[in-house]
């Protein structure tokens, strides 16, 4: 089982969109995927239709019990794709966690529960774009951290400073110290202007200053209306935009490249829905 946490100290960069679409693609490739909505604003919980209108439990139970029980998991309408919904609209969980000495590790240990370990091939955790105890717990639960970064100068600066602060705070020897998974930055929502390209290459150079703790993926997710459209339709973007006119690659191509880069053993594996469409065509 491989665990990814999608993290950014800045809000609105595309974390939820990335988590949902990557999870849905991996599920369509045949992996058993569990999404975890660790944002108190439950956007990921609402992203895809659920198989039930009223989940029996969710993140609160996971964090408070320190265990993932079967009722904490809700199926989506998509095969192989389940979710632990966020059910803390008042935002009590971060406060509850702050008073726990094991706050950094509660989610990590919870994911060792039999309902998760052995039952899923991949866990993807979405977080809130800020710093706090829930984000720390999500970071410490991951094997790999994925961080979308938009190539505007302010966002790029915020990424470097915010990420440095996060990694320093959680690295071994610090109060919550643990070995952190490698962080992979994804240049996200890149538009076609030269300016965005220059800033993107600047971001790559800046990583030397992050002491090699962060690498930048080769896959770049462009700014494209397909991502918003797919979110409105509540379908995975790789199904929504399979082919595209023009130079920019389709969302289907981009998402496959991203999945292959993050999990190299999947190289060359395509989503079942895409293979079926090809057979029909
Ligand atoms: N590749 C893309 N191209 C264009 N728009 C996008 C793309 N990806 C996401 N968006 C849009 O950007 C907005 C923010 O995305 P999203 O909600 O995923 O960000 P977030 O980082 O999860 O935000 P928050 O910090 O509030 O949780 C949404 O309206 C989404 O539809
Ligand atoms: Mg979000």
- For residue 87, the SS3 value is coil
The response to whether residue 12 sits with its C-beta less than 6 Å from ligand 1 reads yes
CA gap 53, 50 in Å, rounded: 7
Distance, C-alpha 250 to centroid of its chain: 20
CATH 3.40.50.300 applies to domain 2-267 = yes
CA gap 148, 134 in Å, rounded: 19
- Return the higher-pLDDT residue of 231 and 277: 231
* Per-residue burial over 13-27, b = 16 or more CB atoms within 10 Å of its CB, e = otherwise: bbbbbbbbbbbbbbb
Distance from Cα 204 to the centre of ligand 2, integer Å: 24
pLDDT in tens, 31-69: 999 999 999 999 999 999 999 989 999 999 999 999 999
- For residue 206, the SS3 value is helix
Distance from Cα 67 to the centre of ligand 1, integer Å: 30
Token pair recorded at residue 191: 């538009």
Token pair recorded at residue 136: 């720390």
> Which pLDDT value is given to residue 207?
67
Which residue's alpha carbon is at the smallest distance from atom 7 of ligand 1? 227
pLDDT in tens, 119-161: 999 999 999 987 889 999 999 999 999 999 888 777 777 777 8
**Residue 165: pLDDT above 90?**
no
**Residue 18: pLDDT above 70?**
yes
**Residue 280: pLDDT above 70?**
no
pTM attached to this predicted model: 0.94
In the chain, what percentage of residues exceed pLDDT 90?
Answer: 63
Pick from 5, 14, 44, 237 the residue to mutate for probing ligand 1's pocket: most ligand atoms within 8 Å of its CB: 14
> Which pLDDT value is given to residue 160?
77
The set of residues, in sequence order, having a beta carbon less than 8 Å from that of 230 and lying 6+ positions away, is 21, 236, 237, 239, 240, 241, 251
Distance from Cα 157 to the centre of ligand 2, integer Å: 20
* Per-residue confidence band for 72, with pLDDT thresholds at 50, 70 and 90: very high
pLDDT in tens, 200-252: 777 777 766 666 778 888 899 999 999 999 999 999 999 999 988 888 899 99
Average pLDDT of the chain to the nearest whole number: 89
The response to whether residue 16 sits with its C-beta less than 6 Å from ligand 1 reads yes
> Which pLDDT value is given to residue 248?
83
The set of residues, in sequence order, having a beta carbon less than 8 Å from that of 271 and lying 6+ positions away, is 25, 28, 29, 238, 239, 252, 256
* Per-residue confidence band for 259, with pLDDT thresholds at 50, 70 and 90: very high
> Which pLDDT value is given to residue 194?
63
**Residue 176: pLDDT above 70?**
no
**Residue 178: pLDDT above 80?**
no
Token pair recorded at residue 212: 């090699």
Distance, C-alpha 172 to centroid of its chain: 23
């Amino acid at each position: 089982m491989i665990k990814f946490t999608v993290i950014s100290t800045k809000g609105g960069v595309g974390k939820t969109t990335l988590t949902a679409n990557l999870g849905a693609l991996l599920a369509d490739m045949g992996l058993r995927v569990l999404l975890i909505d660790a944002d108190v604003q439950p956007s990921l919980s609402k992203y895809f239709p659920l198989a039930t209108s009223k989940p029996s439990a969710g993140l609160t139970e996971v964090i408070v019990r320190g265990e993932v029980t079967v009722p904490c998991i809700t199926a989506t309408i998509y095969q192989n794709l389940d979710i632990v919904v966020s059910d803390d609209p008042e935002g009590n969980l971060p406060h509850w966690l702050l008073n726990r000495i094991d706050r950094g590790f509660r989610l990590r240990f919870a994911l060792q529960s039999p309902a998760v370990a052995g039952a899923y091939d991949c866990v993807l955790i979405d977080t809130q774009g800020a710093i706090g105890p829930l984000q720390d717990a999500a970071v410490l639960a991951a094997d790999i951290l994925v961080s979308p970064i938009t190539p505007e100068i302010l966002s790029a600066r915020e990424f470097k400073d915010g990420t440095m602060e996060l990694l320093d705070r959680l690295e071994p020897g610090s109060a919550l110290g643990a070995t952190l998974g490698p962080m992979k930055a994804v240049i996200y929502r890149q538009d076609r202007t030269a300016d965005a390209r220059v800033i993107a290459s600047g971001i790559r150079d800046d990583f030397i200053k992050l002491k090699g703790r962060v690498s930048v993926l080769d896959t770049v997710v462009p700014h494209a209306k397909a991502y918003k459209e797919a979110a409105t339709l509540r379908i995975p973007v790789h199904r929504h935009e399979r082919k595209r006119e023009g130079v920019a690659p389709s969302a289907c191509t981009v998402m496959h490249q991203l999945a292959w880069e993050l999990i190299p053993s999947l190289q060359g594996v395509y989503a079942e829905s895409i293979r079926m469409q090809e057979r029909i065509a």
